[in-house]
Amino acid sequence: MCGKEMDDFDIQHGFGYHDRASYGSEFDCQSIDLDLCSDCMDAIIKSCKISPVGDEYQDVLKITQGRENFSEEELNQIKDQVWSQYINEQIISSEC
């Protein structure tokens, strides 16, 4: 989108959208392969009125722990856990 050349980080994380456009779209039934650098991905996410960033892990923890909310410190710990898990999955998938 921005024209920046994709660096190794962008390529490794594969930010983007890869799917077939559905009916009702200007691009009905066409294949969409949109690769994004991390800056463009951040810009798109921040521009959304409804955040596309899932809080599934937080929802699971709320249910399993019978909680309604988490403190800021707990949220940071959750984000760190999710990030660590993601990195580990990326390392394992690249080694396989």
Question: pLDDT (tens digit, 9 = 90+) per residue, 20-67?
Answer: 888 888 888 888 888 888 888 888 888 877 766 767 778 888 888 888
Q: What is the model's pTM?
A: 0.49
Report pLDDT digits (tens) over 65-78: 888 888 888 888 88
* 23 φ/ψ angles, rounded to the nearest 5 degrees: -60, 150
What are the structural domain ranges in the chain?
1-50, 54-96
Query: 3-class SS at 54?
Result: coil
How many C-beta atoms surround the C-beta of residue 46 within 10 A?
9
Q: Which of 21, 15, 65 is nearest to 35 (CA)?
A: 15
